[in-house]
Amino acid sequence: MQDTTKGYLWLFFTITIFSTYEVVGSMFAQDIHPLLVNAIRFSVGGLFLLPLALKQIRQEKLKLEGSDLLALFGLGFLNAGVCMGLMQSSLKYTEASTAAVLLSSNPLFVSLLSVFIFKESLTKDKITALILGIAGMLLVSGGLRAENALGPLLAIMASVFWAVYTVAGKRLSQRYGSLVLNAISFLLGGGFLLILTLVLGIPTTGIDASNILLLLYLGVVVTGIAYYAFFTGLLYLDTTMGAAVFFFKPALATVFAYFLLGEPISTRKVLGILVIMLAMGFVIEPIKKSVKGFFPG
């Protein structure tokens, strides 16, 4: 088998697994506090990736400064606590497919942030992408009517913070690589959330035999194995292609939600997905250049 074929297979496996996150998360969204879900998910995922990250640190003789560890902690909390906290909360109020599509639109926000942070030009393509992206989000979410606005708004906020996380991690990613950045930030962020759940007295009664395996799936498979698959795929392909595969998550997540949760695939949602994918097509190249080497997730 050719190396490029191996790379595509690994990345296809990655995006398939990532497209199940919202579906699985929605299965216990009403039972387990979002903070506790992410505390377990990212702690388990960080522990899974840690041996691989330590191996890379030894091989490349990397040295983590105190300021870097503090920055990794901040990134971990931003991702696990804020971004995915909002995302897990959104699953209580909206369909899994809607949340997945809205979260997947984060490249539009990365492109916008790059204008202010990286001083990139506000091109016609970026303006067009933003207008199309907003239109697509409105289609997918049903127009954000008052009775259904909370869930989609939480998912959009999660998408914005994911974009902030992506941009904020650029320097550390260039210095240490995506594997080290994600492994340590996951572990620090998830560990802090575990402590926070204890301090706040968040109940763990929602965790039972019916959902413990699903919760571990998010930690081991979605946050651990899928990231490993992504890094493995990049051994055979460049990071540009790695970023491009996430272009397909909205459609895959919607299909999974249809078969596993019975969520309807309306014409409005299909049109919204197509419009958002079209919008991302306008900005995918600038994003790949500005955050090359960093995997936002």
Domain of 37 in residue numbering reads as: 3-290
Question: Mean per-residue pLDDT for 21-30?
Answer: 94
Asked if residue 62 lies in contact with residue 55, where contact means CB atoms within 8 angstroms, the answer is no
* Domain count along the chain: 1
Q: Shortest CA distance to 22 belongs to which of 252, 296, 186?
A: 252
Residue 144: which pLDDT band, with cuts at 50, 70 and 90?
A: low
What pLDDT, on a 0 to 100 scale, did the predictor assign at position 288? 45
Domain assignment present for 208: yes
**CA pair distance 108, 278, nearest whole angstrom:** 11
For range 115-122, the mean pLDDT: 75
Q: Residue 277 domain-assigned?
A: yes
User: Can you give the pLDDT at residue 294?
Assistant: 44
Residue 288, Cβ neighbours under 10 Å: how many? 18
Assess if residue 187 is contained within a domain: yes
- Confidence bin at 36 (pLDDT 50/70/90): very high
Q: What is the pLDDT of residue 58?
A: 94
What's the pLDDT band for 174 if we cut at 50, 70, 90? confident
CA geometry: angle 92, 11, 22, nearest 5 deg? 5
Greater confidence, 33 or 104? Answer: 33
d(C-alpha 201, C-alpha 136), whole Å: 40
Q: Is the pLDDT of residue 293 over 70?
A: no
Scan for tokens 């204008």, then name that residue.
115
pLDDT for 7: 84
Average pLDDT along the chain: 85
Q: Which pLDDT score is estimated for 287?
A: 47
Distance of CA 198 to the CA centre of its chain: 25
pLDDT tens-digit readout, 229-274: 888 887 787 655 656 666 788 889 999 999 999 999 889 889 988 9
Q: How many CB atoms lie within 10 A of CB 80?
A: 30
Q: In the chain, what percentage of residues exceed pLDDT 70?
A: 90
The predicted pLDDT at position 290 comes to 46
Whether residue 102 has pLDDT greater than 80: yes
Q: Is residue 296 part of a domain?
A: no
Note the pLDDT tens digit of each residue in 190-205: 999 999 999 999 988 8
The pLDDT, as a whole number, for residue 145 is 62
Are the CB atoms for 111 and 247 separated by under 8 Å?
Answer: no
> Could you tell me the pLDDT band of residue 32, with boundaries at 50, 70 and 90?
very high
Res 52 pLDDT > 60: yes
